[in-house]
Chains A and B, each alone.
Chain A
């Protein structure tokens, strides 16, 4: 399994009574009141230091993503962070930008250009993430009508992949992007183009796109494998239905992970920061979570059939104590062997070959984050790296310029 250190870049110093005093962590938390640029200057240094440490310690990839107007993860431009990382990751980790929210760019050739720049700058280490984006970002922060979310995404996906592969100049006559001349300089280094990684929360349309275009799919939720099982079963059932193989490297999942010397110590060190994450960083009212029309009828019918609204409500309502968080799989925490065992179980259950390891969580301070990253890299990663080797699949979606540690680390 490939391990990616995925950084959300949260605000680490929200007031203790944040969730009582404010409506939401996203869209409306007042910026002048809550977001101190001097603090953010420090966070950005820490965030990049942490990602660079992960590269040095042998993570397969370092991951960044895009969100807007929030304290949960305010990397409005992941490409800026990826550019910094491209220059400061000598151990050649993959640069996973998961990704650019395609519907927000007009024309979407902006994404084709910036991703191509990153691919070239990193010598072919870019994984190009194409998320649909949250309703908070797309509809509320960027003003895209909910019903245009998916049509814009699909058109942008088409335009960007054409811009990367078709000799320019050519003409693109779309509904949202109408361009007489498409001819980006340069096209990407990786051929035919950087691997495309889709990310989502369980939309049927996204699975169908993954199958049709041979893209990877990463299921991003914070509710763990128990909750994710139904979703990933749905994903694999869809792959079977469409005649796509069961290569586990097609799929990834995000997991919050806390590693310490012992299980007990993990609780002492991390509980506060995990609680901060669930109580403050996920403080989003339902009406912001899904504007009417954001989800299609088809996906909503699937969601209702599989009781996603009920499961989400139940997950949200749970008291987030250490025991519950671990039992429900919201976090995987403990000694290196506890963490490795549970990750293997989860990866096998979901049948996923890519782990987006969330190792900086909520208010977690820099020193503790470095410890978490280091213990994970040194003690956990070697135990989970080869779990799929016996099945003999190749990872067809890994950036070709990135180091392939699965091969060099085969003795572990």
Chain B
């Protein structure tokens, strides 16, 4: 749910060359960042948008990473073709066809985690291993997920970071005096809210039992946006799941504690944990 949208970071943090591809999926032109070598891995981002970050860089050392920009962030007409979650899941299913990928590992963060779980429920045979980083998709009265559109933007770091004063905080909110940057951030957010407004619970509980892939859940211990209590909604329903709680991390564990998260994710993706 971050606003880590600095395009500049695409280059500055990149060690392996990142290839930007436009892949036509029906009427939607999907933007996909591809890097690395090895078995294919699909990455689905959260509400902050797509950028090439140190976590993806680590994944790309061992996999061919396909990081997809969620449709609608740049071309708002895309959302007219994707009125609901059902169409969105089919969009990702078709995207895998277009990329020539029959079966993949899938890693999804926050909203991307919810979509990843939906995709794995819809097409269980296409998803070999599933990693969900602080996914949304359920609603609990005892831990209501705050309304990210209905809070002062300056309170966001306190919700999503274990250390709201740390270096990531500044990157979370676009500059208040730049209307164009604010608008682009709003459009990225809108393309996510389109599918989860007003509450991020859209029936995953009725479908998640279909997931057959072994699943790793990763949660920051200090996630104040999506409380770690939500992990049990997943673990209690999935056939084969494990939970890794990450100390010193909030809703962006892969960025706040990259090393610790990578140490969990890579062995799991290889089937070694």
Contact assessment for B179 and A309 in the assembled complex, using a CB-CB cutoff below 8 Å: yes
8 A Cβ contacts from A35-81 to B: none
Task: Tell yes or no: B76 within 8 A of A by CB.
Answer: yes
Interface string of B173-200 (1 = CB under 8 A from A): 0000001101101110111011001100
Which segment, of B16-24, B123-131, B149-157, B251-259, faces chain A?
A: B149-157
Would A292 and B186 be within 8 Å (CB), given that A27-B150, A139-B197, A145-B197 are in contact? yes
Contact assessment for B197 and A287 in the assembled complex, using a CB-CB cutoff below 8 Å: no
Contact assessment for A304 and B180 in the assembled complex, using a CB-CB cutoff below 8 Å: yes
Contact assessment for B197 and A146 in the assembled complex, using a CB-CB cutoff below 8 Å: yes
A288→B186 CA distance, assembly (Å): 13
Interface string of A124-159 (1 = CB under 8 A from B): 000000000000000110011111100100000000
* The one of B76, B79, B150, B185 that contacts A287, using a Cβ cutoff of 8 Å: B150
8 A Cβ contacts from A278-294 to B: 285, 287-288, 290-293
Question: In whole Å, how far is A103's beta carbon from the nearest beta carbon of chain B?
Answer: 13
A364→B75 CA distance, assembly (Å): 47
Question: In whole Å, how far is B114's beta carbon from the nearest beta carbon of chain A?
Answer: 15
Would A287 and B193 be within 8 Å (CB), given that A143-B198, A297-B187 are in contact? no
Question: In whole Å, how far is B81's beta carbon from the nearest beta carbon of chain A?
Answer: 12
Give every chain A residue within 8 A of B203 (Cβ-Cβ).
Answer: none
* The one of B150, B182, B194 that contacts A147, using a Cβ cutoff of 8 Å: B194
Contact assessment for B179 and A310 in the assembled complex, using a CB-CB cutoff below 8 Å: yes
Interface string of A309-333 (1 = CB under 8 A from B): 1100000000000000000000000
Which of B151, B152, B185, B186 has most chain A Cβ within 10 Å? B186
Give every chain B residue within 8 A of A293 (Cβ-Cβ).
Answer: 186-187, 189-191, 193-194
Contact assessment for B179 and A304 in the assembled complex, using a CB-CB cutoff below 8 Å: yes
Task: Tell yes or no: A296 within 8 A of B by CB.
Answer: yes
Task: Tell yes or no: A175 within 8 A of B by CB.
Answer: yes
Task: Tell yes or no: B144 within 8 A of A by CB.
Answer: no
Would A140 and B150 be within 8 Å (CB), given that A147-B190, A291-B193, A296-B76 are in contact? yes
A299→B70 CA distance, assembly (Å): 22
Residue of A nearest to B47 (CB): A292
Task: Tell yes or no: A161 within 8 A of B by CB.
Answer: no
Contact assessment for B152 and A292 in the assembled complex, using a CB-CB cutoff below 8 Å: no
Task: Tell yes or no: A300 within 8 A of B by CB.
Answer: yes
Contact assessment for A292 and B190 in the assembled complex, using a CB-CB cutoff below 8 Å: yes
Task: For the complex of A and B, list the 6 residue pairs with the smallest distance between their C-beta atoms, beginning with the closest.
Answer: A293-B190, A145-B197, A292-B189, A292-B186, A292-B190, A143-B198
